[in-house]
Amino acid sequence: MDVLVISDSKSGRSLVTRVLTNLGHRVVDAGTAGVGTQLASRSWQADVAVAALVAAQPTRLRFGAVGVELGIALGRGVPILLVAKPGLSVPFLYGIPRVDYADDEVLLAAQLELLLSGVSAGARREVFQRPKSPTSMPLEPPPSKDLGRARSFEREIGSLLKSHAGEDVVIYEGAALPDDVSEVDFAVLFPEEGSDLRVVLVEVKSGARTKDPSASRRILIESARKLSERVRVSRSGLGLLVYDGEAINLPTTPMTVALSLRQLESRLALEPFDQVLRRARNEAIHAL
């Protein structure tokens, strides 16, 4: 993939260029392309632009140049991803997929790999493009009782995962993910190099507990099928489907394991978080 790198500093540009090159991408450096007329010309092509705003104290001139470069990229219809130092407020990039860089290149590589997979898989480009102002976003209608129960169950699973994950494990919520996996509820990132897990996609399904057991089973089978496809497209290590109610026997689905909340809690009570997911991945592989 051809990636345009935009940065507020030489160190930021070097960091992102190094990470992208190690991931096998070709870097189109805005510093080489030039700001203004040359960058705005049709002489360069990029599949996505990564803006690195990581300088401790960027100069006003350089920060302004970044704004120009981003404006040109957006005008050209190039998807934008943001790498920023934690706590940096960038209102004009509200809604753009963002990675907070915390001096860990291995973790940054895993995060960028996940986001870039959404672009390479043909995600809807508008998701990565022109950010909407918070004031222009439509108000949502009040949630229904079923939706409220689903959100409550999702928060319960999120809290369970975060309470058992180690300090070096990052858990993203679905809204922060690229379009091809944004419909999942969580993505668990393991930063260790050579890990057989790296990225685990987690889907939470509430409401599977219906009066009709066959209907519950059909809902979970379809959810597992969709999750399996997202795992394949994003090249993740595993898909984990967590549902409420009693355990239900489901047919095998490639690289996906379905567990009831009670089953997941029982496993986490016996083994560390990474071992539970690694064991689940082995189950998924052996079931193929």
What pLDDT does residue 135 have?
43
What pLDDT does residue 260 have?
93
Tell me how far apart the 2 most distant CA atoms of the chain are, in Å.
Answer: 65
pLDDT digits (tens, 9 = 90+) for 60-99: 666 667 777 777 777 777 888 889 888 877 766 777 788 8
What pLDDT does residue 210 have?
57
229, 206 contact by CB (below 8 A): no
Residue with token string 């990636």: 3
CATH of residue 229's domain is 3.40.91
> How many CB atoms are located within 10 Å of the residue 214 CB?
8
pLDDT digits (tens, 9 = 90+) for 205-216: 886 555 667 788
Q: Which range, 84-98, 154-168, 211-225, 250-264, has the best average confidence (pLDDT)?
A: 250-264
Closest C-alpha to 30, from 272, 16, 205, 136: 16
Query: What single-letter DSSP state applies at residue 176?
Result: G
pLDDT digits (tens, 9 = 90+) for 256-287: 999 999 999 999 999 999 899 999 989 888 77
275 with 151, same domain? yes
Least confident of 82-91, 189-198, 230-239: 189-198
In angstroms, rounded to a whole number, what is the distance separating the alpha carbons of residues 168 and 28? 31
156 with 260, same domain? yes
Domain extent at residue 184: 145-286
Mean pLDDT of 166-190: 69
CATH of residue 62's domain is 3.40.50.280
In angstroms, rounded to a whole number, what is the distance separating the alpha carbons of residues 180 and 43? 30
Residue of higher predicted confidence among 52 and 131: 52
46 with 167, same domain? no
163: exposed, middle or buried (Cβ count in 10 Å: 0-12, 13-18, 19+) = exposed
203, 242 contact by CB (below 8 A): yes
7 with 103, same domain? yes
Domain boundary, last residue among 128, 161, 184: 128
Task: Output the CA angle 161-162-164, nearest 5 degrees.
Answer: 70
149 with 231, same domain? yes
What pLDDT does residue 265 have?
94
Indicate the pTM of the whole model.
0.53
Confidence of residue 2 (pLDDT cuts 50, 70, 90): confident
- Work out how many domains the chain is built from and give that number: 2
Residue of higher predicted confidence among 90 and 230: 230
Residue of higher predicted confidence among 119 and 202: 202
Distance separating the N- and C-terminal Cα atoms of the chain = 31
151 with 277, same domain? yes
25 with 121, same domain? yes
Residue of higher predicted confidence among 64 and 150: 150
Query: What single-letter DSSP state applies at residue 234?
Result: H
Residue of higher predicted confidence among 179 and 65: 65
Query: What single-letter DSSP state applies at residue 57?
Result: S
